[in-house]
Structure formats: structure tokens, C-alpha cells
């Protein structure tokens, strides 16, 4: 989260919307899960 530019941008967007750190982490976990699912699904097909 500290080093990845995409994560930094995501943090910035979410904090501008007024999300708390707890809400942000929950949303980030979902975003990471979606990205991983797409990558794994592309590899297996």
C-alpha cells in the first residue's frame, strides 16, 4: 500500500470521499481480490 502507485491513488480517492481507514481497507481488499481473480482466470483459460 505504501509503495504501489495504484494503491496510493486508490487511498487518495477514497479519503477524498470521506471513507475511514477501516472502510478503505475493506474496499481495497475487494479491489485486490477482483484484480487477482481476473489474472488467475486469464492464466487458467
Residue 6 falls in which region: left (phi positive, over 0), alpha (psi -120 to 50) or beta: alpha
pTM over 0.75: no
Residue 37 has what pLDDT? 93
> pLDDT digits over 1-45, tens only?
678 888 888 888 888 888 888 888 888 898 889 989 999 998 876
Residue 3 has what pLDDT? 82
Residue 45 has what pLDDT? 62
Q: How far is CA 38 from CA 2, 8, 17, 18, 21, in A?
A: 23, 21, 26, 28, 26
Amino acid at each position: 500500500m505504501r509503495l504501489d502507485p495504484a494503491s496510493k491513488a486508490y487511498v487518495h480517492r477514497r479519503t477524498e470521499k470521506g471513507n475511514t481507514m477501516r472502510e478503505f481497507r475493506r474496499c481495497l481488499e475487494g479491489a485486490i481480490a477482483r484484480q487477482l481473480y481476473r489474472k488467475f482466470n486469464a492464466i487458467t483459460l
